[in-house]
Structure formats: C-alpha cells, structure tokens
Amino acid sequence: MIIDCHGHYTTEPAPLFEFRRRQVAAIDDPAKSPSPASLKISDDEIRESLEGAQLKFQRERGTNLTIFSPRASGMAHHIGNAETSLVWSRICNDLIHRVCNLYPKNFIGVCQLPQSPGVAPANCIGELERCVSELGFVGCNLNPDPSGGNWNSPPLTDRWWYPLYEKMVELDVPAMVHVSASCNPNFHTTGAHYINADTTAFMQFLTSDLFKDFPTLKFIIPHGGGAVPYHWGRYRGLAQDMKRPPLKELLLKNVYFDTCVYHLPGIELLTKVIPADNILFASEMVGAVKGIDPETGNYFDDTKRYIDAVSSLSAADKQKIFEGNARKVYSRLGAKLARL
C-alpha cells in the first residue's frame, strides 16, 4: 500500500470560494456574515472536483491513500479574528469529512486548526477533538506563524502551545507543521514562506527540551524538511556547539520529514541524510507545483518516481517510506484502514 501523507483539497467547488469571499467581506460588519448553512455543495460537485485531479493522479501514479486536509494557503489564519477562523475551519474540515465519506479508500482526513494571531492555541482544542473523535481524522496541520509571515507568535517550543500538545498526545495524533498564505511580500507563499517555516520549526525543536516534556509528541516537517537535510552538518554542528545531544537522539523519535521534494537529486540527498525510519512518502498533489518537468517529461510532484529510482534504498526501507512510517506516525490510521 502506498500512503501519501500530504495532500490538500486544492480543487474545491466554487461555492466554497464564494462563501469565503462573503465571510471576509463581512469582517467589519459581522451582522452581514454568511451563515454556514447557506453554503451548498452537492456530492456530485465534490466528485467532479476530485475525479479529474487527485483521484486520477492516484490511479495514474499507483498510490492508494492520501492523508487529506484543507488547502493550506487557504487557512489564512491572519484574516479576521478567532471566530472568523473557527467558522472557516469547521467548514473546511466538514468538507474534508465529506470527501473521506465519499471515497473512504482514497482519503483520510487531517484538520485545519482555528488559529488566530495573538490567540492562545488552546482555543484549537475543541475543533481538534471534534475532528478526531467525531469525524475520524488522524492528525492536524499546525501553523507556526498564524500572522502569515510576520512571525510574532512564540516559538513552537514555548509553553504557549502546550495545552494543544497535551490534547494531541491524549488523542495520539501528530501535527504537520504547515504555514498558510504569506501576507509579507518578501516571502512568496509556496516558494519561500513554506520552506522557511519548515527550517525554522526544526531549529526551534533543536534548541529546546520540548520532547522531554512530550516524549510521544510527533511532528511531520513537510516539503522535505525545508533546508534541513541539505544543511544537516550545520544543524549537527550547532547542536554540538550548544552542548545539545546528537540530533538523532534529540529529535528523531519525534520529528519526521516528508518527500515533497520535486527532483531526484533532492530525494537522493534526503534519503541519504535522514534515516528511512523518519521519512514519509508525500507528493502534495495537486499543490504548489503543477507542471511537467521538461527534463524528465513527468510531473514535478510525481514524487513516487523519485523514490522508486533511488537505488541505495532497500526494499524494506522503501516499504517504511511508502507505508510503514505513515502507519507509525499517524497511529490512528491502522484501526481505520482495518475497518475498510
């Protein structure tokens, strides 16, 4: 079985965008906010949105299951206030739930959290619990910078975040560290802000004792871990200079990387530097990079091809990357798959 741990609903039916447009337009006049019940999307609209995209690519590429969450750049936690974010998150998560019910063998849900700048992450506990306990989701996306590029929240290792981590541990769900849209023109959303955030989160983890406080807390750093694998020597050296334990001991029981690196040399480096036990297959399709690489004739985000092509990985390691590690990190996945 091939499990893609990183997919977003980026082909949403048009009424969702119209709802969001009306919601954002009413931020200064909440009386004009559209009611969630006014949003009408049919099952056929959902099917149409997926059949020619995510489902087609799953079939063509030979992957089986996508761990699926709302569009990451659409979370836009910096827009409005905590209530805006809660209404929007519930709608987006409910839509993912409908996708998972229509295609239970193809998609399993991960939720968006109703974060808001300056608001304690404890406010996300209710929605996380609803999504996991009631909707059957297996994880969440956690935005380390709900300001959208201004980085004015405490680091992920600050006690500010601890109540949410306590709930994640209790529910036994991991978080993918995933920023949303950038509203800082210095940082292109998918080309810079995403990769910066991945790298930033890793360095925050390196300098803290977060995993002493939460030995079973698990994070996936997406997009191949940002700059981390490429600069592994820098991070090992920094840890050493700071009298921290070796990275493998310090972080690799809790921190995982995905394979959203869109060329073979990048995947070769990732799999050479990071132990196979810490890598989860992912493509983020249909996502940031939609085109075909003229050098190979294949889609940039057809990441399965790169892993297939890495000759230094054993069959057992490939099995871990494609399936075993996802089952380990998303602990609730096994029970859900067994019921299919």
Nearest in space to 295 (alpha carbons), one of 259, 258, 260, 265: 265
Q: How far is the CB of 233 from Zn ion (least distance, A)?
A: 27
The piece of 44-52, 65-73, 86-94, 245-253 that touches Zn ion (CB under 5 A) is: 65-73
The structure tokens listed for 80 are 């409005």
Question: Does 111 participate in binding Zn ion (rule CB under 5 A)?
Answer: no
The answer to whether residue 39 forms part of the interface with Zn ion (CB under 5 A) is no
Which residue in 12, 127, 284, 323 is the catalytic one?
Answer: 284
Stretch that binds Zn ion, among 72-80, 154-162, 179-187, 275-283 (CB under 5 A): 72-80
Using the minimum distance from each CB to Zn ion, give the nearer residue, 5 or 307.
5
The string of DSSP codes covering 54-101 is: HHHHHHHHT--EEEEEE-HHHH-TTSS-HHHHHHHHHHHHHHHHHHHH
Asked if 72 touches Zn ion (CB under 5 A), the answer is yes
DSSP character for 133?
I
Whether 249 is a known active-site residue: answer no
**Which residue, 114 or 287, has its beta carbon nearer to Zn ion?**
287
Contact 280, 220 (CB under 8 A): yes
Q: Considering only 66-74, 125-133, 232-240, 317-325, which stretch makes contact with Zn ion by CB under 5 A? A: 66-74
**Count of residues that interact with Zn ion, criterion CB under 5 A:** 2
Residues 131 and 102 sit within 8 Å (Cβ to Cβ): no
DSSP state of 193: I
Angle at CA 281, nearest 5°, toward 193 and 141? 45
CA count, 13 A, side-chain hemisphere, 194: 22
Contact pattern for Zn ion over residues 283 through 302, marking x by CB under 5 A: -x------------------
Smallest gap, in angstroms, from Cβ of residue 6 to Zn ion? 6
- Give the separation between CA 185 and CA 226, rounded to whole angstroms: 20
Rounded to the nearest whole angstrom, what is the least distance from the CB of residue 223 to Zn ion in the complex?
7
Residue 72 or 138 with smaller CB distance to Zn ion: 72
Q: Are 294 and 315 in contact (CB under 8 A)?
A: no
In the complex, the smallest distance separating the C-beta of residue 10 from Zn ion, rounded to whole angstroms, is 9
What is the closest distance, in whole angstroms, from the C-beta atom of residue 242 to Zn ion in the complex?
Answer: 30
H or E element that contains 16: helix 14-25
Tokens of 41: 């999307």
Binding positions for Zn ion, rule: CB under 5 A: 72, 284
Q: Which are the catalytic amino acids?
A: 284
